[in-house]
């Protein structure tokens, strides 16, 4: 019998982190609720922390977490400088 490993045996180098501005003042941050249970609670806390640091936030919401976001939602969050996605459960 032959067994196949579920792990990818290829190696790849690490990707560099995206550049960080270090300052959130004046940034528009989209808070994307994917409709998982308690995700809104997580985003409420993140919202408060971001606003304390000078960011302007707005909410966007997927119809259901198990399907891709509608084009309108993608367009909406695409207008932000940063996006935080609520994946809580």
In the chain, which ranges are continuous DSSP H helix? 39-52, 71-78
pLDDT for the residue 18: 80
The yes-or-no verdict on residue 88 having pLDDT over 70 is: no
> Residue 89 — pLDDT band, cuts 50, 70, 90?
low
> Average of pLDDT values for 18-22?
78
What's CA 21's distance to the chain center, in Å? 17
The yes-or-no verdict on residue 59 having pLDDT over 90 is: yes
Higher pLDDT among residues 51 and 88, named by residue? 51
pLDDT for the residue 15: 80
pTM: 0.76
The yes-or-no verdict on residue 3 having pLDDT over 90 is: no
> Average of pLDDT values for 63-78?
92
What's CA 8's distance to the chain center, in Å? 26
Q: Specify the range with the lowest mean pLDDT, choosing from 15-19, 44-48, 66-70.
A: 15-19
């Amino acid at each position: 019998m032959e067994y196949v490993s579920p792990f990818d045996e290829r190696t790849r180098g690490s990707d560099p982190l995206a550049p960080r501005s270090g300052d959130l003042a004046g940034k528009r941050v989209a808070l994307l609720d994917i409709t998982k249970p308690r995700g809104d609670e997580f985003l409420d806390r993140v919202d408060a922390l971001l606003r304390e640091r000078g960011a302007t936030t707005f909410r966007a919401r997927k119809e259901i977490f198990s399907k891709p976001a509608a084009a309108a939602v993608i367009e909406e969050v695409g207008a932000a400088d940063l996006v935080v996605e609520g994946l809580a459960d």
